[in-house]
Structure 1
Amino acid sequence: MLSCSFVLPENSLLNQNYYSLFKGYRVDIIFYLVYYWFYSFAYFSSIYFSTPKHRFRRITIGTIILFLLMIPVFFTETIPLSVGYIFYSFLVSLIALGQVFTETTLYEYTSYFHSPKHINAIQIGKDIGGLILLLFFTIFNGTSASPFVHLSVNILITIVVMAVAIIYFLFFMSKKKYWDYYVNVLAVDDQSIISDKDINVTENNENNDENEENKDDLLKSKVDQKPEFSLPELKVQPETAAEIYLGIAKCLYQPIIACFGNYVTTATFFPAFLYKLTSNNPDLNNKQWFAIILMFIFFVFSLFGKILLREKYFLKVKPKLVYILIICRIIFIPLWILCVLPKVFKHDVFPVSFMIFFALSDGYCGSKLLPSKQP
């Protein structure tokens, strides 16, 4: 996007290298930037909304407001292209919204009944599924794939991941235990839900007063569960959606920006650098096997970064240190450039080593910024 307003001399080496590196991938880069921004904001804001109905409505309104604020960013080229970017960004924001809604509801329910191991299993399954899809399309697309092919792959992976979460969520909804949870925790203020489902939450107790007391204790214990970063609560109850999101942005701007910055740094590598890295072994460059190996390393060590959160030593890391680590991750951008142009790091050990630390920091920082009930 920014390259439209910054034009280098036509014959300069930097201009040729930059154009060669990012040619055909600008649409993909826009995808990641827009997607991760909406994902980060909606993810953090969703923890303040108690019921799925209110959560979905307010996140939708906030998403539309944020999208309208981003429209001027895209008017940097011709009108048809700008309109295409706007429409595409709106599609991406809706996908991110749907994924956030399903994941937060799923994790909230799973963490209520199961241990964190079950939540980690969901995250592992998503990583493995994304890895399989990426490997499949990378092998069959080859180097001649257009940016819109990569674009369709990104959208397809996101939709598949969201569909898996929805299926998993609907499976739990078929169990009576889910409705007990829904009435106790999510639908306490909505008496119509309780009457429509005609569920006796405490059917084993005969005293109604005791039932209400048990319900209040359950809600109190649920409210007392604070996120890992001790995110501040909204002291004033706003009335409009705009006031809600202004209050949330004021309280959560630090973790939102940090989460967004972490994933944007990761997005600079995919796909602009990934498909430009070459191996010293010509056989690995056939059908981009070297890119596939690097992608596999990323998924595996990103998963290890998430597992590190279960260790007591890493759980005690202060948020400020995580923010510093996220800022330090920017150093990977010039390192990747030096692996491609002018290729200072020529041996394969350099991109592999960079990828290991790149993935570890991505998995650890991304998961560390989430609330404690999230993986």
Structure 2
Amino acid sequence: MAESKGNVVYACFVILGLGTLLPWNFFITAQSYWDYKFREVPADNETISSTERTSLQTLYVPMQVCFSQIPNFVFLFINSLYSDRIPQRIRLLTSLTLMIIFFAITTALTQVNTDTWQTGFFIITIIIIFLINSSGAIFQGGLFGVAGLFPERFMTAVMSGQAIGGVFASAARIISLSVGAADAISAFIYFMIAVVVMILTICCYIFMSKTEFFRHYANRQAHEKNNAELVEKLHTETQEEGSILAGYFEIFKEIWPLGLSVTGVFFFTLAAYPVLCVKILSTAENNSWANVYFQPVATFLLFNTGDWIGRVLGGLILWPRRGSKLLYVLVASRVIFIPLFLLCNHSESSSIPSVFAHDAWYIFFMLLFSLSNGYCSSLAMTYGPKMVSENKAEKASSMMASMLGLGLLLGGVSSFAFGLIS
């Protein structure tokens, strides 16, 4: 019976993980929609023949990266510091509710003609990106904190759910391409699905939090935490404000190798994906594959599928074992994918030679790249909370999430430099 309840809670953690990244994956997948919204609008009886991108189209991607990754890291870090100040339930439900509201606004705007006020729409979009990622960081940090209280496989459930979100979004993009749906209609469908998934996520969390299995682990952690606080009060009568940071660094000293590992995993990933990958061209003679499906399938769908498989395998195999330096070697070795992708087939104007021109090379590199991303990140996130005592597990998990956010931020920033090189 307990095992059955554990499986139900495990499924809820998968859906909660899905809810953390699926909305943002749809936001990125709808890139053609944003290009449409910020296109050059022709005057009456006028045809535009220029293929050059507008200033808003060019500005959108770097602004999206900036106003998504910076608040994501900042709020993950704040959450790791003060996670014990605000009840977990309030943090998760409030942040999810805010995400639903912001996505509902984004969904409604797909049906609004913004051609006459593109600059205003651009500003509103960037503000929404900032707010969605701020709320999402609070939710993600809180979710990792909760998962850290449970056995190792439950952290894998969250990681797997996140990867499934990427697979789902990539598959939706390919389907929309195959049916020839208009950009605005595709975006409306994407965002509506995201809203529905987030509503489902709230329902799953509320249901899960009422189960005996969930309460067993949550209450056990609370009991350990209260005991630790009682012991501490025997030694000190007052608690200085600086003790927050002191406690933070005490935990950091125990988990920093794994924290830096997850930072490294996502730094190398974001440095190459998608900025280098989307510039790689197919050498296939089939025009439909080369011009329409190559990037959606060989880049986005393959990466997200490999990432998901890697995360699942990481939770099942758990090798290298916790504390083994081999894991750090595997993480560091992922830097090799940056030059490998640079040497794949780019446009003729690129100054870098196309050593690995055939599509098969790129697909092979992408498969290894995605599998290693999922596998290494899953191991690091799973081992991190287990390096500390149970009363510190939630905070350690939140800290690991903030290190993950740091990797995304640093990788996103470095991607601009690698993008210029290619």
| Aligned pairs (5 A) from 1:77-156 | 88-89=129-130, 91-105=132-146, 107-108=147-148, 111=150, 116-117=152-153, 120-137=156-173, 140=176
Gaps of 5+ in 2: 1-54, 96-121, 229-234, 387-396, 401-422
How many correspondences in the alignment? 286
Amino acid at match of 1:169: Y
Q: Residue 160 of structure 2 contacts residue 308 of structure 2 at CA under 8 Å; is this kept in 1?
A: yes
3-state DSSP of counterpart to 1:353: helix
What is the deviation of 1:363?
1.3
Distance 1:156 1:249 in 2: 42
Aligned position for 1:244: 244
Distance 1:267 1:31 in 2: 15
1:300 aligns with 2:341: no
What is the deviation of 1:293?
3.3
Aligned position for 1:13: none
Question: Cα–Cα, structure 1 residues 133 and 51, in superposed 2: closer, same or farther, change >3 Å?
Answer: same
1:315 aligns with 2:356: no
Question: Cα–Cα, structure 1 residues 158 and 39, in superposed 2: closer, same or farther, change >3 Å?
Answer: farther
3-state DSSP of counterpart to 2:358: coil
RMSD: 5.1
3-state DSSP of counterpart to 2:282: coil
Amino acid at match of 1:248: Y
Aligned position for 2:410: none
Taking structure 2 as the reference length, the TM-score comes to: 0.51
Distance 1:95 1:368 in 2: 23
- Kindly indicate whether structure 1 or structure 2 has the higher relative contact order, using CA contacts under 8 Å at least 6 residues apart: 2
Aligned position for 1:34: 70
Distance 1:157 1:271 in 2: 23
3-state DSSP of counterpart to 1:133: helix
| Aligned pairs (5 A) from 1:1-375 | 25-30=61-66, 33-34=69-70, 37-38=73-74, 41=77, 49=84, 52-53=87-88, 56=91, 88-89=129-130, 91-105=132-146, 107-108=147-148, 111=150, 116-117=152-153, 120-137=156-173, 140=176, 165-176=201-212, 178-179=214-215, 182-186=218-222, 188=223, 219=224, 239-240=240-241, 243-245=243-245, 247-248=247-248, 251-252=251-252, 254=256, 255-281=258-284, 282=286, 283-306=288-311, 307-311=313-317, 313-315=319-321, 318-319=324-325, 321-339=326-344, 340=346, 342=350, 344=354, 345-370=356-381, 371-372=384-385
What is the deviation of 1:257?
4.2
3-state DSSP of counterpart to 2:275: coil
What is the deviation of 1:347?
0.4
What is the deviation of 1:132?
1.2
Q: Residue 262 of structure 1 contacts residue 362 of structure 1 at CA under 8 Å; is this kept in 2?
A: yes
Distance 1:89 1:362 in 2: 26
Q: Residue 159 of structure 2 contacts residue 378 of structure 2 at CA under 8 Å; is this kept in 1?
A: no
Q: Residue 305 of structure 1 contacts residue 364 of structure 1 at CA under 8 Å; is this kept in 2?
A: yes
Aligned position for 1:193: none
Of all paired residues, the percent bearing the same amino acid is 21
Q: Residue 309 of structure 1 contacts residue 315 of structure 1 at CA under 8 Å; is this kept in 2?
A: no
Q: Deviations over 1:10-58 (max 9, x none)?
A: xxxxxxxxx9xx8853234335633663576468668x8498449959x
Taking structure 1 as the reference length, the TM-score comes to: 0.56
What is the deviation of 1:284?
1.3
Question: Cα–Cα, structure 1 residues 273 and 261, in superposed 2: closer, same or farther, change >3 Å?
Answer: same
What is the deviation of 1:264?
2.9
Gaps of 5+ in 1: 1-18, 61-80, 189-218, 224-234
Question: Cα–Cα, structure 1 residues 337 and 24, in superposed 2: closer, same or farther, change >3 Å?
Answer: farther
Higher-helix-fraction structure: 2
What is the deviation of 1:92?
1.6
Aligned position for 1:215: none
Q: Residue 265 of structure 1 contacts residue 329 of structure 1 at CA under 8 Å; is this kept in 2?
A: yes
What is the deviation of 1:334?
2.9
What is the deviation of 1:246?
6.1
